[in-house]
Amino acid sequence: MLNVHTLGVVGCSFQHVQNEQQIKFKQGLLIEQFKRIGKVAIAEIWEPLTGPHWGYRRKARMGVKYVAKKGRVLVGFRERRNQFLAEMESCKVMHPIVGEKLMDLSAMIGQLSIKDKIPQIEVAIGDEDCVLAFRVLEPATDEDKEIMRAFGHQHNISICLQSKGPDTIVPIEGEPELMLTYSLPEQGITFRFKPATFTQVNYEINRQMVSRVMQEMDFNEQDRVLDLFCGLGNFTLPIATKAGHVVGIEVNHAKDNAQFNKLTNVEFFVADLSKDVSDQVWARQKYNKVMLDPSRAGASEVLHNLKKWDPELVMYISCNPSTLARDAGILVNELGYTLVKAGVMDMFPQTGHVESIALFKK
């Protein structure tokens, strides 16, 4: 029997539950949290968006640990209740180009002189290429680099080294600089991104999710749209193919992809949306449609600005049903919006993570 306690254990905690049951359970949880936390009833529920149940994950941070007693290197994920690295031979939710190669990776790292100086690997898999960025606490020797380079060539993986923060990720000397890409064929958009850039982990569900947003928001030339927490423009750019003007707001810069896709009706601004933004140039304008896709903390701080922007439609994407439920409460019970529809999307099968979507109308 599933319960909320089971759901608290993230990672691959759901592997024993049938796929259809998993998503049904997540839907039940969303309905319950809307009612309990937000005091909002979901009158109409969206059919869950579903995709591949295995091998879907394209972004991850894997832990690495050299265990001297066993004389081997563990590569995998940290157990949630403690900081131990789960011993695993493969990871079935990860894209197989990496998920099926954990043992090979472990053996390769075991040959390095810095095998005990690599705490983690950033995994980023685009439409065409796969990058593994090794966080290194000490510089790799020439011999180490040769071993890594050979591994990369053998497995068609581009190996990078990261000496400090995410900006220090660079290919091993002599290897080409690589720009990862993913595309949204229905909207004719291609994104270029770096290994540490936020991208949705499940490309199939992402494509369906963007298409649903496009369909439900029905953008046209008259629309002035605000896309909050826009990341690299995953929604901003598709919206720009239909709407008159789109403004994307993010803590990081996202301009490059608008230029790359030759879209000129897009503006990006950098802002911290957990702070008061009401004085900022973009916040003093009007928008008739607003899109929100915050991180787990939700978007409560920025919601009050909706009074001023006065949009007729608000689309909210969330990776945390409890903050979505709380924010739905603000939208409906304080700001006078009606919840049109809500639902879940199977972005993270086999795990306790829940991705959801809700549409509000004035």
Ligand X SMILES: C[S@@+](CC[C@H](N)C(=O)[O-])C[C@H]1O[C@@H](n2cnc3c(N)ncnc32)[C@H](O)[C@@H]1O
Residues within the interface to ligand X (CB under 6 A): 198-200, 229-231, 234-235, 250-252, 272-274, 293-295, 319
Tokens read off for 157? 């993986």
Whether residue 329 contacts residue 307, with contact meaning beta carbons closer than 8 Å, is answered with no
30: enclosing H helix or E strand: helix 19-33
Residue 157 CB, nearest approach to ligand X (Å): 23
**Residue with Cβ nearer ligand X (147 or 324):** 324
Tell me the pairing of strands 338-345 and 313-318: unpaired
- What is the distance between the terminal CA atoms of the chain, rounded to a whole angstrom? 39
Measured from the CB atom, is 114 or 271 closer to ligand X? 271
CB of 351 to ligand X, least distance (A): 16
Q: Distance (Å, rounded) from C-alpha 184 to C-alpha 203?
A: 9
Phi, psi of 166 (to 5 degrees): -55, -30
Whichever of 234 and 322 has its CB closer to ligand X, that residue is 234
Task: Quote the least distance from Cβ 309 to ligand X, whole Å.
Answer: 16
d(CA 196, CA 176): 18
Collapsing DSSP to helix, strand or coil, 237 comes out as helix
Q: How far is the CB of 121 from ligand X (least distance, A)?
A: 21
Pick the closer one to ligand X by CB: 200 or 322. Answer: 200
Nearer to ligand X, 132 or 357 (CB): 357
Q: Which helix (H) or strand (E) holds 206?
A: helix 203-217
Active site includes 319? Answer: yes
The CB-of-168 to ligand X minimum distance in angstroms stands at 19
> In the complex, which residue's CB is closest to ligand X?
231
Determine the longest span between alpha carbons in the chain, in angstroms. Answer: 66
Q: What is the set of active-site residues?
A: 319
